[in-house]
A and B are shown apart, each in its own frame.
Chain A
Amino acid sequence: MHNMFKFFVLVTVILFVSSPIMAQDKPSLTPPEGFTALDTPNDIGNSISLLWQASANDKEGISYIIYASPLEDGPWLEQDRVLSTLGFKSDAPQYFGLSEENETWHFYEVTSIKKDPTDKNPLPITATTYFKLAISNGTDVIEFHSIVSAAPEGNWFDTSKLNVLIFVSIFSILILYFISLARKNPNLFIRHIPGLDAIEETIGRATEMGRPILYLNGLLDMSSLSTIASTSILGKVARKVANYDSQIMVPCYDPIVMSVCQEVVKEAYAEAGRPDAFKEDNIFFITNDQFAYAAAVDGIIMRHKPAANLFMGYYYAESLLIAETGVATGAMQIAGTDAITQLPFFITTCDYTLMGEELYAASAYLSREPLQLGSLKGQDYSKGFIILVLIIGTIASTAGSAFFINLFRTF
């Protein structure tokens, strides 16, 4: 609205003034107000932003010329010519946010100093640099003598990620609050997860048949949450296996995951009071190649015929290769993965499948610890919160307000 009003006023003025002096053809180009230079916000510190207000001279054929120089009065080197109808603050929301007012400000990012406009390898900008602005309609050039300067520096906080920080804090407070709540009244209601209830029975059955239990941790490394969740479930499962004095085989895809699993299973046997029953070479490394691993695990399944196969963690196309071989040996199979693309194959081959989030809830569910169960309640409240946001957000954005969409913009 603001822009339109100014334009209207300008047109009437020109019409009124220019009618007697129509003969004069020199363009009346006024210097833009608010010409400033500043370190580009939210960046690593390798660029400077030049800002100046959009004005009446922004018309076809008019362009701004940017000059830079390392010294205040030093040689002014032409950097670039920018069309006056392009380059606004609103083009870079990651620096200047989403307010409407950005559309009325020109913006030019300087990342290097060129000796001349055709300079092929300009020097990256590091120290304080001075800038001048000029305007030209293709033929004559009018320089504006206001000089501004700025120095690039790394910023310590990226304001465009404020919304992420707020949501991280909300979720963390919700979850930690419910964990502390669980410390007070431990009897929290948690719905049954059939796949996890079946683990006890599955291990019992395997012990009766005198055949081992096979446990896989997926194909990611130890820094991925899917694998961490899988090793924590292994701890609880190994504890039950030790109580039944049965054996658990863990063929591994990654040496670090193998070491963690050896540590976890050893502790489980120790806590079950059977430290000597722990066989470290039941947890062994095969290979770090997807299909060689699948071929070797298939071989183990066909030869050792484990009575129970547990597939936890993240899987790729080899999931069906392993699970379908397991079906042929009549094993009881429980899978838990957050690999959404592989869930259809586990559902068609396993007796129980933990879907996505249930993999992460498994270790808390099996531990029965109030602290751990508290976090599940915190997750439920977060889910309720997201459902509300989805419904309100859609209604709001259908009604035309972009508030919600902008709230969740990520850069």
Chain B
Amino acid sequence: MDSTILGGWIAAGLTLFMFSSLYKDNPFYRFGEHLYLGLSVGYIILKVIYANIIGGLYKPLFEDHQYMLLIPTILGLSLYTRFFPKIAWISRITFAFIVGYGSGLTIPRIIAGGIFQQIEKIITPLGKTGATWWEVFSGIVIIIGVASVLIYFFFSVEHKGIINKISRVGIYFVMIAFGASFGYTVMARMSLLIGRSYDLIEFATPKYYYATIVLLVLMVLILILYESMRKKEEGSEANA
């Protein structure tokens, strides 16, 4: 049984375990969930040890003598003061360090990357040479859309009268846009399921000794057993 066949059985099993949550929460899903949790945390610990600690701290600090890295080390360790209530406030300095960095970095970038680029895209000339009347109409529709959506989000104005009408136009734009992008992603999600189905069908072939079929039947039997046992238990508990 070379490792590919074994790999096939494991993949088929885990796929069926996770799909079983569609039926309802059951021991197979819980097993898959906790297995996935353990593997992912193990993977993260490895990444943290090799990339963050050894690669990012130990080597540069001790081999390349970048002593500036002592500051982030202290900031990181100060988070552990949370276990000692009296000095837990020190960890707030690290929070402030991170939050302040994030806020400062964001302001110019979001104006240049967010606001300016949106404006630049929207105020392109409508009547470019050779633009059909349809393109001009679409350009106007875009401006009406952006303006009405912005007005919908006004906070300090009551949604009454003209403001209410414009906001209604705005929310219509939003709903059409969300309906369209919902419909647009259905194909991508379906192809994920198609990919899994390919694998399950392949693992059901004699080459893999009918892994999918065998595992599916086993799971259904065990679930039936598990359900009846639980009902008997609840039954005995009820009249105990």
Contact flag (A, B; Cβ within 8 A): yes
- Quote the shortest CB–CB distance from A304 to chain B (angstroms): 11
Partner of B147, one of A347, A348, A390: A390
Q: Is the CB of B153 within 8 A of A391?
A: no
Q: Main SS of the interface on chain B?
A: helix
Question: Are B32's CB and A295's CB within 8 A?
Answer: yes
Given contacts A287-B41, A398-B125, contact A380 B155 (CB under 8 A): yes
A72-100 vs B: 1/0 string, CB under 8 Å? 00000000000000000000000000000
Q: In whole angstroms, how far apart are the Cα atoms of A263 and B40 in the complex?
A: 27
Beta-carbon contact of B155 and A164 below 8 Å = no
Chain B residues with CB under 8 A of A343: 178
Give chain A nearest CB distance to B217 CB in angstroms: 24
In the complex, the answer to whether A376 meets B18 with C-beta atoms within 8 Å is no
Within 339-360 of A, Cβ neighbours of B (below 8 Å) are at: 341, 343-345, 347-348, 355-358
User: A358 — which chain B residues lie within 8 A by C-beta?
Assistant: 153
Contact with B along A286-308 (1 / 0, CB 8 A): 11110110011011001100000
On whether the beta carbons of B44 and A287 are closer than 8 Å, the reply is yes
What count of chain A residues pass the 8 Å CB interface test? 67
CA distance A394 to B125 in the complex (A): 6
* Cβ-neighbour of B108 out of A161, A344, A390 (below 8 A): A161
Chain B neighbourhood of A164, CB < 8 A: 108, 111-112, 116
Q: Is A146 an interface residue (CB 8 A)?
A: no
On chain B, the residues within 8 Å of A348 by CB distance are 182
Instruction: Kindly supply a per-residue 1/0 record for chain B positions 150-169, scoring 1 wherever the CB is within 8 Å of any chain A CB and 0 otherwise.
Output: 11011111110000000000
The answer to whether B33 and A400 have CB atoms under 8 Å apart is: no
Q: Does A408 contact B (CB under 8 A)?
A: yes
Q: B67 an interface residue at 8 Å Cβ cutoff? A: no
The residue of chain B having its C-beta at the shortest distance from the C-beta of A399 within the complex is: B125
Measured in the bound complex, the distance between the Cα atoms of B182 and A344 in whole Å is 6
Question: 24 interchain pairs (CB within 8 A)?
Answer: A167-B111, A189-B156, A189-B158, A222-B95, A223-B105, A225-B103, A225-B106, A256-B94, A263-B82, A292-B36, A295-B32, A295-B33, A299-B29, A355-B174, A356-B153, A379-B155, A380-B156, A393-B123, A394-B123, A394-B126, A397-B124, A405-B123, A408-B116, A410-B120
New A-B contacts (13) at CB < 8 Å, excluding given A260-B95, A292-B40: A164-B108, A168-B111, A188-B156, A190-B156, A191-B154, A255-B79, A295-B32, A299-B33, A356-B153, A377-B155, A379-B155, A386-B115, A386-B119
**Which A residues lie at the B interface, using CB under 8 A?**
161, 163-165, 167-168, 171, 188-191, 221-225, 228, 255-256, 259-260, 262-263, 286-289, 291-292, 295-296, 298-299, 302-303, 341, 343-345, 347-348, 355-358, 361, 376-377, 379-380, 383, 386-387, 389-391, 393-394, 396-398, 400, 404-405, 408-410
